[in-house]
């Protein structure tokens, strides 16, 4: 059993998928988000979408960093994580403007004071103000903030995003076909709309990353930060403190783990306006990492990824600390790119150029081939990994 499983989490969310398998798949079963008819007005030319997600256990890392350093600004990053994990999923069906957002914050008041709530809530509005400069308008409708110390040990920051959207401006992944190339857009570096270097970690796999990278000190000092019933052998078993410097990184360990999830909204808004018809499919490599695409293929295709980015330092750090093999790393983490566009080879160059103009590295990372079954082949570091 992997360490990931021993900690009570699953990269593939098998039990969640089983619990929801009988639910309506919506109008477009291969679309990245569930899409329904426009029940709000009954207009056949529009659809309704609603999406819920959050920062996950990354908020625990913010709690530890704040406790250790006193830097309360890290909580704005958690607000961004909760936003982007909703926004970038919706971007993958074509939605990029006039969205509504409601936040849900559950906290343990004994551990998390009001000033933290202020940073999260005010930070949420600040992020929407920043996105507005790129033509992405998100309206903050408030939400629910509850003191539920019997439910959460520290704080859980989540949100719900909804939109009404024209049906002819949707990306449903039904156009993915053999001969397509896959353009990967880097999750790391510093985009023009980011103020500091981004490690690329996103908001997935943080239970594994936290316990594998951070030292036993955190188990001893912050028992509220983990499930105390877990075996000591899987709790904070790494070599690092949050403030440790990493020779090959411009930021420390805690900042690497807490880099706010990059949104691709400024880029995708451009691509939707300039190359919409060239976009055959969109995948947000979040939960499930580089295997995420398998769930949304509209046929029995073989996906070959053989030109991936070299994993940025955060993933090297996690792998060195955990001893995980490449198969598990690529199942859990994005490993360097968190957005994939399926398109024609001729159209790829324009998309790559648009990304580079915004300071986002991009390249063709793979391709789609005909097959008699759904299959993913990752070729990297001299290995061939088949899913």
Tens-place pLDDT, residues 230-239:
999 999 999 9
CB environment 222-241: b (16+ within 10 A), e (fewer): bebbbeeeeeeebbbbbebb
Q: What is the pLDDT of residue 22?
A: 72
CATH H-level, domain 3-203+257-386: superfamily: PurM-like, N-terminal domain (3.30.1330.10)
Mean pLDDT across the chain = 95
Work out the percent of the chain whose per-residue pLDDT is above 90.
92
Average pLDDT of the residues in 6-33 = 74
- Is the predicted pLDDT of residue 1 greater than 70, yes or no? no
Asked if the model's pLDDT at residue 55 lies above 90, the reply is yes
Please answer whether residues 290 and 334 qualify as being in contact, where contact means their C-beta atoms are separated by less than 8 angstroms. Answer: yes
Work out the average pLDDT over 257-280.
98
Predicted confidence at residue 252, as pLDDT, reads: 96
370 pLDDT more than 70: yes
Is the pLDDT confidence value at 126 over 60?
Answer: yes
Average pLDDT estimate for 347-363: 98
Tokens 């790391």 belong to 188
Domain coordinates in residue numbering, the chain: 3-203+257-386
Instruction: Indicate the DSSP class of residue 374.
Output: -
Tokens of 223: 């028992």
Q: How far apart are CA 262 and CA 56, in angstroms?
A: 15
Query: What pTM did the predictor assign?
Result: 0.94
Residue pLDDT, tens place only, 171-187: 999 999 999 999 999 99
CA distance 236 to 322: 11
**Which of left, alpha, beta for 226 (phi over 0: left; psi -120 to 50: alpha)?**
beta
**What's the pLDDT score for residue 15?**
65
Question: What pLDDT is stored for residue 23 in this prediction?
Answer: 74
Is the pLDDT score of 113 beyond 60?
A: yes
> How confident is the model over 151-180, as a mean pLDDT?
98
**Mean pLDDT computed over 301-309:** 98
Q: What is the pLDDT of residue 13?
A: 55
3-state secondary structure of 279: coil
CB-based contact 76:123 (threshold 8 Å): yes
| Owner of token pair 């955990």 | 322
Q: Give residue 4's pLDDT band: very low, low, confident or very high (50, 70, 90).
A: low
The whole-angstrom separation of Cα 57 and Cα 284 is 19
CA dist list (Å): 325 to 233, 286, 321: 19, 19, 11
pLDDT in the model for residue 247 = 87
Annotate 227-260 with DSSP letters as a single string. -TTS-GGGSS-SSB-TT---TT-SS-HHHHHHPP
Is 70 exceeded by the pLDDT of residue 17?
Answer: no
């Amino acid at each position: 059993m992997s360490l990931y499983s021993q900690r009570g989490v699953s990269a593939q969310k098998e039990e969640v998928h089983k619990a929801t398998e009988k639910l309506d798949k919506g109008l477009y079963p291969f679309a990245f988000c569930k899409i329904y008819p426009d029940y709000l007005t009954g207009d056949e030319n529009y659809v309704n979408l609603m999406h819920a997600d959050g920062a996950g256990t990354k908020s625990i890392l913010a709690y530890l960093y704040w406790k250790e350093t006193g830097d309360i600004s890290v909580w704005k990053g958690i607000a961004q994580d909760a936003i982007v994990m909703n926004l970038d999923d919706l971007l993958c069906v074509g939605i990029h403007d006039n969205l509504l957002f409601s936040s849900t914050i559950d906290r343990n008041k004994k551990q998390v004071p009001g000033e933290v709530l202020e940073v999260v809530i005010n930070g949420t509005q600040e992020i929407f103000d920043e996105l507005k400069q790129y033509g992405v308008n998100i309206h903050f409708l408030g939400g629910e903030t509850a003191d539920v110390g019997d439910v959460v040990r520290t704080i859980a920051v989540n949100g719900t995003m909804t939109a009404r959207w024209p049906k002819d401006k949707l990306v449903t992944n039904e156009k993915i076909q053999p001969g397509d190339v896959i353009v990967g857009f880097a999750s790391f570096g510093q985009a023009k709309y980011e103020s500091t270097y981004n490690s690329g970690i996103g908001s997935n796999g943080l239970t594994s990353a936290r316990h594998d990278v951070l030292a036993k000190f955190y188990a001893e000092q912050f028992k509220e930060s983990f499930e105390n019933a877990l075996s000591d052998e899987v709790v904070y078993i790494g070599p690092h403190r949050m403030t440790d410097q990493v020779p090959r990184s411009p930021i420390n360990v805690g900042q690497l783990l807490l880099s706010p999830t990059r949104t691709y909204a400024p880029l995708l808004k451009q691509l939707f306006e300039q190359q919409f018809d060239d976009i055959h499919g969109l995948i947000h490599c979040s939960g499930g990492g580089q295997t995420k695409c398998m769930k949304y293929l509209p046929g029995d295709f073989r996906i070959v990824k053989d030109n991936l980015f070299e994993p940025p330092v955060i993933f090297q750090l996690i792998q060195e600390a955990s001893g995980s093999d490449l198969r598990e790393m690529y199942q859990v983490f994005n490993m360097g790119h968190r957005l994939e566009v399926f398109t024609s080879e001729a159209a790829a160059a324009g998309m790559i150029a648009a990304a580079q103009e915004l300071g986002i590295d991009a390249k063709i990372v793979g391709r789609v081939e005909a097959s008699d079954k759904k299959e993913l082949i990752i070729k990297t570091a001299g290995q061939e990994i088949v899913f």
